[in-house]
Each structure stands twice: as C-alpha cells, then as structure tokens.
Structure 1
Amino acid sequence: MQYQAIVRKFGPAPEVVGIERTELPALRSDQVRVRLLARSINPSDIITISGAYAGRTTLPFIPGFEAFGVVEACGEEVYGLAPGSRVLPVRSAGGWQEFKDTDPSWCLRVPDALSDFEAATSYVNPMTAWLMLHKKIGLKPGMRIAVNAAASSIGSILIGLANAVGVEPVAIVRSEESVARLRGRLEAVIVDRADGDLAVGLAGRHGLDAVLDCVGGAHAGHLAAALKPGGHFVHYGLLSGQSIQPSFWASHPDIVFSYFHLREWVHSETMDHVQRAYAEVAAQLAAEVIATEVRAVFPLEKIGQALHSALPFRAGGKVLLA
C-alpha cells in the first residue's frame, strides 16, 4: 500500500487534491520502482491542477513534476540502475506519491554531494534558470540583464548563476519585504509597487541585453523598452495572471522574444543531453553557487496543509512534501 495525492477534477489545488491509499501494482520488467523521499510544490503543479493544460492532462492524475528518491527495485530487463541509486524521475508528473514506477532512462542520476532536500529542489527552477541563461541568451561577462520576481526561488537562482560569471542583474520586486529577501550582487533594485514605478525605475537603464520575465501582463512593454536592439526577452511564467497583449509583438520588432518551458525542452532532447545539463546544475548546487530556501516540510498525507502553506508562491521559499 502507498499514499497518493490524487486529482479527480480540475480546480484550486487546496480544494481538489485529495489523498488516497492504493495497492502497489506489479512492477513491469522494463521499469524501476523509485521510493520517493522528498517532493517540491511548484507553480507548474498548481497550474496543471487548475485545468490550464486540460487538453494534455487526463483525469484522474497524480501531480508532482519534481521529486527525489532512491531506486527500490528494478525489473529484470533494466540495466544501468541498481537498488539504492539516487534519482530524479522526470518527463512526467506523479511525484506526489510514495512510490513511482518509471522508465529507467527517465531517471536523472543525483550526486551524493546533494542532500535529499537539495535534490528535491534541483530540477525545475535550477534547470530552467541555467538553460535560459546559458542556452537562450548566451550569458557571458559584461552582459546586462533584468530579472523580475527577483526575490522568488528562481529569481535567487538566476541572480546566483549570473553572479558566477560576473554579471550583476537589475532586480525587480514587488515590495520592501521582497527587497529584504534579495541575495547576491545587483546593478540595481526596482520596487514595482504601483503603476509607473517600473517605468521610472528603468529610466536611464536602457541598453539591457536580456530580460527574464515570469510575470507577464502590461509591464512587459516597459521591460522590452529597456532592451537594446536585438536584446532577448525570455518569457517563462505568468505570476500576474495576465497574458502579454498581442500589441506587444507589433510594437517591438527589434527584440528577440521567446518562451521557455522546461517540460518542452526536456521532451525535445535526448536523456543523455538532459543528464549533462543536470550535471552542470548539480555542480553549481554542490559548490553552493546557488541554493533554494526550504521554508516548510509536510508529510505527504498532510497535502492539504502543505498546499495552503505553499500558496501564494510570492511568500518566498519552497514547501516540500517529505
């Protein structure tokens, strides 16, 4: 028997995620069974539970895109993994349960240098940040970049990775409380509390090489205006709940606009390539170049309490299920 968090209808996560006890199925000969030890609650989980991706999500389902565990058992056709291996099963949801049966080729190898909690937060945000900086914008010394929601978990990681190559970002936050949570070396801090704050804060800071935007909405135009011709605008989240308006495209033909979604990247690459990228990220974590704050830990069977604690995500720090 095992505990599983189950979604049987779409809606607000605290209302629709339930906990159930189920029998473990027989392990397939070509799969591994991973005993999951620690799991993150991420915005991507909440968005999926809401039904935003209903067209590609079949009910009922087990949420959780980021979970760390240890291989418990291997099918007789499995090679290259053995019981006791530390892994992150990726390319599918299903992390909010005690055991996950999965394709062994979808298991990222986790180095012993990472603790269980570090491992459980080493994939979604760190991989997204590293890939955007190094694959999307080609981060190098001397570049000038801006990061909004800069006091969030991923904002902190973006700042740390930028600092590692000598880049000091412009950090954009929503409150003085967020300013207090900022870490790392920064070119400037802009507190975007009310209409006009962002435009005023960016005045005189034009010529940016890149903007990393996870907020969306009307402020995208102010950020785009601060980019130099040919600058990169990478949009990877929608914390505001407001899409970027179509007029954005017509009014900014001189910038390079792109989306980034980790799920799409992972599904488009070979797992060897994904493993190499993850090894780069894990090395940054092991060297303490980047880190993720864990502010609360709940047992899986207390999923309702965990979700209430995790939301809203602007509160800072990760909530784990362990």
Structure 2
Amino acid sequence: MEAVVNTAEELVEIVLPGKVEPDGLEIRRGQVPAPGPGQVLVEMEATGVSFAEQQMRRGRYYDQPPFPFVPGYDLVGTVRATGAGVPADLTGARVAALVKVGAWASHVLVDAADAVPVPDGIDPSDAETLVLNGVTAWQMLHRRARVRAGQTVLVHGANGGVGSILVQLARAAGAHVIGTASARHHEALREQGVTPVDHRAGNVAARVRALAPAGVDAVFDHVGGPGVVDSWKLLAPGGTLVSYGTASTRDAEGSARLPVLKLLGRLWLWNALPNRRSACFFNVWAGRALSGNRFRARLRADLAALFAALGRGDVTPRIAARYPLADVAEALRLAESGTVAGKVLLTP
C-alpha cells in the first residue's frame, strides 16, 4: 500500500535561476509532490553546500543541467511516503542519497533504489558529512589509490569538506599524512596527526619534498590547473595521483569544460609515459548511467563502511556551520570564503 502525502505540508526549494551571486538564489514554494512508481518522498533533514554548487552558480560545473534548476548534491532525511512498488514499511526510515541536483529542498523525490539506510543513533547532520564528501574520500583512498599502512600521502585542502574526512581516513588506515591548508588550520591538523603545509606561503612542492625526500605514495588534488604538475612530480615510484577537481578555475571566464578536458588530457599523457606512477580523475557520479546497479551497490557498501568508521571514532564529522534552508545565500557565501574547516550544512 502506498503511503499518503500530507497535503497540509508545503514544499520549499532553492532555485538557481542562472549565473548569479548568492543573493540571486530564489526560494520557490509549492505543493509537496507525491512519489511515483519506484520512488520515495524524503523530507530533508540535512543537505550540504559543496564545491559543485559553487561552480554551478557560475555555470562552471562540467555537466550541470540548464538553468533554472534546484541545486543540492546529497541529503539525509526521513521517508514520508512511498510510491507504487516500494514497500510501505520504508515510511519513517532515515536514509541518505546522492542525487547530484535537487537536494536543496524541504522534500525530495528519490528513486527507492538510491536511498541508503542510515543506522539508528547517527545524527542526520553527522551522516550528511559522510555522503558526498565521505564517499568521495573513501573511494579515492581505498578504491583508487589503495593506500596502505606506512605509506605517506599528500592531501591538498586538508581542512575542506572532502579533505577533512580524507585525512582522518588516511590516518585510520595507518598512513602518514601531509596536508595543505592556510595557517589558521594548522594546529587542528597537528592534533589529528597531520603534518601541515601552508599553501599560501609559496614553494609548496619544495616544502613537501623536504618532508618526503623520496616522494609521496599518493596525492589527492582538487585544485587542478598548473599546480597539478607539481602533484605529479611529488609522487614516489609506484605512487598514484588522484585528481578530483579544478578549483583553481572556479572564477575563470570562458568554457567550463575546457579546464576539465585539459586536465584529462594531461593525466592520459602521464599514464601513457613509461613510468611507475599512475594518475586518474575521480568523479563520484561517474559510472552511474552505465552501471547503475554496480554504482548503487558500491555506494551502499562504502557508506556502511563510513558509518562504521564513525561508530568506531575513526571519523569525527567536521561541521563548519548549519543554516536554515532560507538562509542559503549566507551559507553559500561562507562556504566560498575559504575560511572554514569542514562542511557547511543546510537544514529545514
């Protein structure tokens, strides 16, 4: 039997109408939608402000939809109704989902197959930090670089949403971690066992080389641009460069796709050279269209591993700030300021 939607509730969603400043985001209100066959209606409890949305508002995310649309890459919430073909006993369950767009809303329609159960006792805000950012960190560390105990890794942006989880997972795996961040975050990184390097002081590559004269076993680089060459050169024999963004071009003009294509070409060329190092580009969404079931199985397994790591204390959620959905402009400005540690969240 299908659950009934409470028609007294109101849908509130944030619309990105075009290339606008944060204040240009629009609040749209309407009727809460009913789930269709195979869908669940999720009442959002927490969603995140990621770097993807920062690029999207500039029209610079590689494959974003045409304007206008509702941003929001991931969410955690409670199932309020189920569509045909979905067990009604899912109603009331807390779930997490990667949706790429659409999560900046009070209620979100999600394919039931994409809804991942969140264990009892985990705060929805804490769980939210592990969905997009945590899965990205986990898959880069364990599925791409396959980091092992005793190895040394370099994490750029070690205080950021992904970086703050990545350094914790790497330390839990027994790796030595060098992390770039501005000086204000260095003490917190040291407390986590991370060796900090000030990315604003210049000569980052030389200072990392001084810390790891033989090179590092993995570099996690979200910056892209010319600096990715230094990331490649810092690898030890057998090392892996995992590139997962082009943050250096966030405010650039011109084609949004060209920086990504240039980066992919550079990585392909390095892999074609006769050497003992490897490079890859990571996109957490990649492969969903071609292998949806495999994508879902991997997401469920990796989120389960992250929730277990949270339970063990291997990961502590880093929440920079929480804002109500209506204050999305202020939340986005803070996320873009480059001053925060961890993730900025939106709540109902």
Normalising by structure 2, we get a TM-score of: 0.83
Alignment check: 8 A CA contact 1:296 1:318 kept? yes
- Paired residue for 2:286? 264
- Paired residue for 1:167? 175
Q: Deviations over 1:25-56 (max 9, x none)?
A: 34324321111111111111222232124754
Equivalent in 187, 203, 213 of residue 196 of structure 1: 203
- Paired residue for 1:95? 103
Equivalent in 225, 242, 267 of residue 234 of structure 1: 242
Q: Deviations over 1:188-209 (max 9, x none)?
A: 3322324424324423523321
- Paired residue for 2:160? 152
2:321 maps to amino acid = A
Deviation at 1:151, TM superposition (A): 2.1
Query: Which sits farther off after the overlay, 259-268 or 195-204?
Result: 195-204
Q: Deviations over 1:95-121 (max 9, x none)?
A: 111111121111111111311111221
| Cα separation, 2, equivalents of 1:220 and 1:75 | 46
Alignment check: 8 A CA contact 2:164 2:342 kept? no
Change (3 A) 1:251 1:8: closer
Long gaps (5+) in structure 2: 1-9, 251-258
How many residues align structurally? 319
2:32 corresponds to 1:6: no
**Pairing of 1:1-322 with structure 2 (within 5 A):** 1-12=10-21, 14-53=22-61, 56-79=64-87, 82-173=90-181, 175-182=182-189, 183-186=191-194, 188-203=195-210, 205-241=213-249, 243=259, 253=273, 254=275, 255-267=277-289, 268=291, 269-322=294-347
- Please give the secondary structure, in 2, of the residue aligned with 1:50: coil
Change (3 A) 1:151 1:309: closer
Q: Among the aligned pairs, what percent are the same residue?
A: 28
Q: What RMSD in Å do the two structures reach over aligned CA positions? A: 2.4
1:263 maps to amino acid = W
Long gaps (5+) in structure 1: none
Query: Which sits farther off after the overlay, 151-160 or 115-124?
Result: 151-160
| Cα separation, 1, equivalents of 2:66 and 2:89 | 30
Q: Deviations over 1:121-143 (max 9, x none)?
A: 12111111111111001121122
Deviation at 1:292, TM superposition (A): 2.4
| Cα separation, 2, equivalents of 1:282 and 1:251 | 36
1:276 maps to amino acid = A
Change (3 A) 1:125 1:265: farther
Alignment check: 8 A CA contact 1:206 1:225 kept? no
Deviation at 1:294, TM superposition (A): 1.7
Alignment check: 8 A CA contact 1:207 1:227 kept? yes
1:6 maps to amino acid = V
Deviation at 1:150, TM superposition (A): 1.4
Q: Deviations over 1:202-241 (max 9, x none)?
A: 2352332111111223332222222123311110122322
Q: Deviations over 1:78-106 (max 9, x none)?
A: 12752111111324421111111121111
Normalising by structure 1, we get a TM-score of: 0.90
- Please give the secondary structure, in 2, of the residue aligned with 1:172: strand
2:32 maps to amino acid = L
Deviation at 1:265, TM superposition (A): 4.7
